[in-house]
């Protein structure tokens, strides 16, 4: 990919061809002379070629007929015209990647070399050889090239046909071929850094951390396999050892990422696999030659099916229950596995390397995982925002609860003060009465005033009622806590339903100061008696009746019905008031939620009444239902199973 347009539709030429111009690249593919062995005289222009063999290149691989480990030579000639002139731009030859050490000669002169054999073997089989051809060595007529190669293994030959062209075009072509790989490498690294920083900031050292390491190491692995190898390392040996070390870490990071992401425990197979790779990692640090590197790659590839099996096992065992969490990862793996196989085979020199395919596979793979993790991050942030909203709302309702409770205590204190003032006033009037006897006319007026005061309500009685109500609010809060903790022990007793409901309604009316004539009680039959926890029944009934009184106009009809049917107690409280909206019906049973009204803050209460109704009903294995709509009133129906008298 990204091939230079200059190299499109190139025609291969045989050795011995006439090169009239270097404006177009020349590929020398056939009639190369090959010989095993070593003799520095073979670099000269004139050599006895009786024992040389003609070959076409590329001829890279393992010889089936002879062992070519060690030195071997390639020779090729070309002709320049008699009117040859020195080119304006530098000319170079591209030999590609050679295994393992090489020297290039032109007309008997050493031009350049890669690697050394003595005093210590230093190989480089990843570098793309591009050697400049000195213009002063190029001459009209015959020009002879010789390549001296030392193979440290039985892998030998030229991987591609040598190409002569302008040096600028050759280097641009190599850069363009590796551009996609370099871009992918940097994308992988920055992607990993993003998730690594995210895992640190959010305090999550699990799946994001291991994916970040996997992505960063993958990016380093890709960059090492490009021209960045020469930038990052001075020695090919250390660069290749680093490449193998990074490669060994990749499956460990990915499998741990999957375990963390799916919230699974590590198994024994994974532990053994990690120990094996750890040992391989340590051994690789001490390997310095191609034969040992081939052994490391072979061992890694033999164990690679274990990693694939572990991943497949994780998906088979947990994929169905976590299909939404892994669907993008599955797509990425489906794109990655073929490219891993191709890269492994090319690393063992079984097939020609196709790095572009590998990088594309990893790019799709990492992008798919990033999409999956980013989606999880977004969902996590949304959940966090929702939780924050709920906490803010809870703080508001708690504040409202405290305000309502404070208002109740304040009202009670005011009524107690009023009662005390009334007692003091009456005592003062009694003392005055003893000193001065009023006239008959004044006595009549005083009697009429006392009658009016009695009709307006006794402050002492009002204070007592309010103190009782405040005590009841505290008792309700304690009861709700006990019901939620399932620590409440009900006390069953037998009592008259009709009388009980009338007493409860009277209690509510006394507290609210409302004595309605349009409250209708219907108990069927009228003399019905039930065996039931009085405390819970009073709690349910009082809160429903109190809500009906508080949130309706005094002229509104209120109906209270009770009956037994099919083994269940049914309590129905309905009114013809303003009703509830759909939104209110969804939240009305939540703790500290108050019903809507223009002057809601003036309505006494703690906001736990209907919560307590639902909790009491659920405790007794019953159900509570609500039917309402705005402007159409509300109907609460309580259904609780009967308990037989033992």
Point out which residues pair with 28 in neighbouring strands: 13
Whole-angstrom distance, CA of residue 625 vs CA of residue 529: 24
For residue 274, the tally of other CB atoms under 10 A from its CB is 15
Q: Please check whether residues 555 and 634 belong to one and the same domain.
A: yes
Give burial (CB, 10 Å; 0-12/13-18/19+) of 148: buried
Give burial (CB, 10 Å; 0-12/13-18/19+) of 612: buried
Q: Which two tokens stand for residue 328?
A: 């993008």
**Confidence class for position 640, pLDDT limits 50, 70, 90:** very high
Q: Which two tokens stand for residue 625?
A: 């239902």
> Is-contact 226 270, C-beta < 8 A?
no
> Is-contact 137 110, C-beta < 8 A?
no
Q: Please check whether residues 146 and 185 belong to one and the same domain.
A: no
Residue 320 is predicted with a pLDDT of: 65
Please state whether beta strands 129-133 and 141-151 pair in parallel, antiparallel, or not at all (unpaired): unpaired
> Is-contact 283 296, C-beta < 8 A?
yes
Q: Is residue 404 part of a domain?
A: no
More confident residue, 139 or 340: 139
C-alpha dist (Å) from residue 611 to 532, 540, 579, 624: 20, 10, 18, 11
Q: Which of 60-74, 117-131, 182-196, 349-363 is the least confident region?
A: 349-363
Residue 349 is predicted with a pLDDT of: 58
Using one digit for the tens of pLDDT, what is the confidence trace for 527-571?
899 999 998 999 999 999 988 888 888 888 899 999 998 889 999
Q: Is residue 398 part of a domain?
A: no
Of 326, 336, 333, 382, nearest to 359 (Cα)? 336
Query: φ, ψ for residue 363 (rounded to 5)?
Result: -65, -50
The owner of tokens 């609210």 is 512
Check pLDDT > 70 for residue 321: no
**Confidence class for position 422, pLDDT limits 50, 70, 90:** confident
Mapped onto helix, strand or coil, the DSSP state of residue 637 is strand
- The widest CA-to-CA distance across the chain, in whole angstroms, is 161
Looking at residue 40, what DSSP letter applies?
Answer: G
The residue-averaged pLDDT of 352-366 equals: 75
Using one digit for the tens of pLDDT, what is the confidence trace for 237-283?
999 999 999 999 999 998 888 888 888 888 888 899 999 999 999 99
The residue-averaged pLDDT of 623-639 equals: 89
Give the residue from 332, 358, 385 where a domain finishes: 385
Residue 382 is predicted with a pLDDT of: 75
Q: Is residue 438 part of a domain?
A: no
The CATH number for 74's domain is: 2.60.120.260
Q: Is residue 303 part of a domain?
A: yes
More confident residue, 624 or 456: 624
Whole-angstrom distance, CA of residue 152 vs CA of residue 115: 12
Residue-range definition of the domain harbouring residue 278: 178-385
Residue 89 is predicted with a pLDDT of: 92
Q: Please check whether residues 216 and 322 belong to one and the same domain.
A: yes
Using one digit for the tens of pLDDT, what is the confidence trace for 206-226?
788 898 999 999 999 989 988
Q: Please check whether residues 185 and 319 belong to one and the same domain.
A: yes
Of 619, 634, 479, nearest to 548 (Cα)? 634
Using one digit for the tens of pLDDT, what is the confidence trace for 171-191?
999 999 889 889 989 999 998
> Is-contact 28 17, C-beta < 8 A?
yes
Q: Which of 31-35, 156-160, 367-371, 446-450 is the least confident region?
A: 446-450
| DSSP class per residue in 310-350 | HHHHHHHHHTTTTHHHHHHHHHHHHHHHHHHHHHHHHHTTS
Residue 198 is predicted with a pLDDT of: 76
Whole-angstrom distance, CA of residue 536 vs CA of residue 534: 6
Give burial (CB, 10 Å; 0-12/13-18/19+) of 115: buried
Residue 265 is predicted with a pLDDT of: 82
Residue 350 is predicted with a pLDDT of: 65
Whole-angstrom distance, CA of residue 363 vs CA of residue 203: 27
**Confidence class for position 406, pLDDT limits 50, 70, 90:** low
Cα torsion angle, 373, 374, 379, 381, sign: positive
The residue-averaged pLDDT of 438-443 equals: 54
Q: Please check whether residues 485 and 381 belong to one and the same domain.
A: no
Residue 311 is predicted with a pLDDT of: 79
The residue-averaged pLDDT of 107-133 equals: 93
For residue 199, the tally of other CB atoms under 10 A from its CB is 19
Whole-angstrom distance, CA of residue 466 vs CA of residue 376: 54
Q: Is residue 439 part of a domain?
A: no
More confident residue, 595 or 46: 46
Q: Please check whether residues 182 and 163 belong to one and the same domain.
A: no
Residue 206 is predicted with a pLDDT of: 76
Give the residue from 122, 147, 171 where a domain finishes: 171
Q: Please check whether residues 13 and 159 belong to one and the same domain.
A: yes
The answer for residues whose C-beta is within 8 angstroms of residue 567's C-beta and 6 or more apart is 641, 642
The CATH number for 586's domain is: 3.30.565.10
**Confidence class for position 102, pLDDT limits 50, 70, 90:** very high
Residue 449 is predicted with a pLDDT of: 47
The answer for residues whose C-beta is within 8 angstroms of residue 101's C-beta and 6 or more apart is 113, 114, 115, 116, 117, 121, 122, 123, 124, 149, 150, 152
Q: Is residue 443 part of a domain?
A: no
Whole-angstrom distance, CA of residue 367 vs CA of residue 492: 65
Q: Which two tokens stand for residue 198?
A: 């995210």
**Confidence class for position 38, pLDDT limits 50, 70, 90:** very high
The owner of tokens 């992401």 is 261
Q: Please check whether residues 32 and 76 belong to one and the same domain.
A: yes
Can you say whether residue 490 is alpha, beta or left, with left for phi > 0 and alpha for psi between -120 and 50 degrees? beta
Q: Please check whether residues 306 and 253 belong to one and the same domain.
A: yes
**Confidence class for position 27, pLDDT limits 50, 70, 90:** very high
Whole-angstrom distance, CA of residue 210 vs CA of residue 259: 10
Q: Is residue 560 part of a domain?
A: yes
Mapped onto helix, strand or coil, the DSSP state of residue 77 is strand
More confident residue, 11 or 248: 248
Torsion of CA 242, 248, 253, 259, to 10 degrees: -170
Check pLDDT > 60 for residue 303: yes
Check pLDDT > 50 for residue 28: yes
The answer for residues whose C-beta is within 8 angstroms of residue 160's C-beta and 6 or more apart is 57, 58, 94, 95, 96, 97
Q: Which of 122-131, 380-389, 527-536 is the least confident region?
A: 380-389
The residue-averaged pLDDT of 288-302 equals: 90
* Domains identified in the chain, total number: 3
Whole-angstrom distance, CA of residue 49 vs CA of residue 61: 24
Give the residue from 325, 351, 385 where a domain finishes: 385
Q: Please check whether residues 592 and 630 belong to one and the same domain.
A: yes
Question: First CA to last CA across the chain, in angstroms?
Answer: 89
Mapped onto helix, strand or coil, the DSSP state of residue 23 is coil
Q: Is residue 228 part of a domain?
A: yes
Q: Please check whether residues 72 and 202 belong to one and the same domain.
A: no
Query: φ, ψ for residue 50 (rounded to 5)?
Result: -65, -35
What length does the chain have?
Answer: 646
Residue 358 is predicted with a pLDDT of: 74
Whole-angstrom distance, CA of residue 210 vs CA of residue 202: 15
Alpha helices in 129-232 (DSSP H): 167-201, 207-224, 228-232
Residue 454 is predicted with a pLDDT of: 44
Residue 487 is predicted with a pLDDT of: 87
Q: Please check whether residues 18 and 92 belong to one and the same domain.
A: yes
């Amino acid at each position: 990919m990204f091939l230079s347009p200059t190299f499109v539709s190139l025609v291969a030429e045989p050795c011995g061809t006439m090169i009239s111009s270097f404006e177009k690249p020349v590929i020398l593919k056939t009639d190369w002379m090959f010989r095993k062995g070593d003799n520095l005289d073979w670099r000269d222009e004139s050599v006895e070629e009786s024992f040389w063999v003609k070959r076409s290149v590329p001829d890279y691989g393992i010889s089936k007929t002879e062992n070519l480990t060690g030195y071997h030579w390639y020779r090729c000639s070309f002709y320049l015209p008699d009117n040859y002139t020195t080119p304006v731009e530098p000319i170079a030859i591209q030999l590609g990647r050679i295994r393992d050490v090489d020297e290039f000669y032109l007309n008997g002169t050493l031009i350049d070399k890669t690697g050394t054999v003595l005093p210590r073997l230093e190989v480089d089989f990843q570098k793309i050889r591009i050697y400049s051809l000195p213009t002063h060595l190029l001459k009209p007529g015959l020009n002879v090239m010789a390549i001296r190669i030392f193979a440290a293994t039985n892998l030998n030959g030229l991987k591609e046909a040598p190409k002569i062209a302008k040096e600028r075009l050759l280097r641009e072509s190599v850069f363009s071929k590796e551009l996609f790989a370099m871009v992918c490498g940097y994308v992988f690294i920055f992607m990993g850094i993003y998730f690594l920083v995210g895992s640190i900031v959010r305090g999550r050292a699990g799946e994001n951390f291991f994916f970040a390491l996997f992505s960063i190491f993958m990016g380093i692995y890709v960059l090492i396999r490009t021209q960045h190898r020469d930038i990052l390392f001075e020695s090919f040996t250390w660069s290749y050892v680093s490449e193998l070390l990074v490669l060994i870490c990749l499956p460990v990071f990915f499998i741990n990422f999957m375990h963390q992401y799916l919230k699974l425990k590590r198994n024994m197979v994974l532990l053994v696999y990690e120990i094996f790779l750890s040992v391989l990692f340590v051994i690789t640090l001490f390997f310095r030659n191609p034969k040992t590197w081939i052994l490391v790659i072979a061992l890694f590839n033999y164990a690679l099916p274990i990693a694939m099996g572990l991943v497949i096992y994780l998906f088979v065992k947990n994929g169905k229950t976590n299909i939404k969490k892994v669907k993008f990862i599955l797509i990425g793996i489906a794109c990655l596995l073929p490219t891993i196989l191709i890269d492994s085979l090319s690393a063992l020199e079984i097939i020609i390397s196709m790095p572009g395919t590998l990088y594309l596979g990893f790019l799709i793979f990492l992008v798919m995982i990033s999409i999956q993790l980013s989606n999880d991050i977004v969902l996590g942030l949304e959940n966090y925002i929702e939780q924050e909203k709920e906490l803010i709302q809870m703080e508001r309702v708690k504040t409202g609860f405290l305000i309502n409770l404070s208002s109740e205590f304040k009202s009670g204190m005011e009524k107690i003060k009023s009662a005390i003032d009334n007692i003091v006033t009456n005592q003062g009037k009694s003392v005055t009465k003893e000193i001065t006897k009023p006239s008959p006319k004044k006595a009549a007026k005083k009697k009429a005033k006392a009658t009016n005061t009695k009709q307006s309500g006794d402050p002492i009685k009002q204070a007592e009622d309010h103190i009782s109500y405040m005590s009841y609010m505290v008792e309700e809060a304690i009861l709700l806590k006990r019901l939620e903790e399932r620590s409440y022990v009900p006390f069953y007793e037998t009592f008259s339903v009709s009388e009980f409901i009338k007493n409860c309604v009277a209690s509510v009316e006394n507290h609210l100061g409302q004595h309605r004539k349009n409250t209708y009680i219907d108990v069927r039959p009228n003399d019905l008696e039930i065996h039931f926890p009085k405390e819970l029944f009073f709690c349910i009934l009082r809160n429903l009746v109190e809500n009906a009184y508080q949130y309706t106009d005094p002229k509104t009809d209120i109906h209270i019905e009770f009956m037994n049917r099919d083994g269940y107690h049914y309590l129905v409280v309905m009114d013809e008031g303003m009703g509830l909206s759909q939104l209110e019906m969804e939240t009305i049973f939540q703790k500290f939620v108050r019903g809507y009204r223009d002057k809601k803050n003036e309505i006494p209460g703690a906001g736990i009444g209907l919560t307590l109704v639902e909790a009491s009903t659920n405790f007794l294995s019953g159900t509570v239902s609500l039917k309402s709509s705005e402007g159409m009133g509300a109907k609460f129906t309580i259904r609780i199973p009967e308990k037989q008298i033992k």
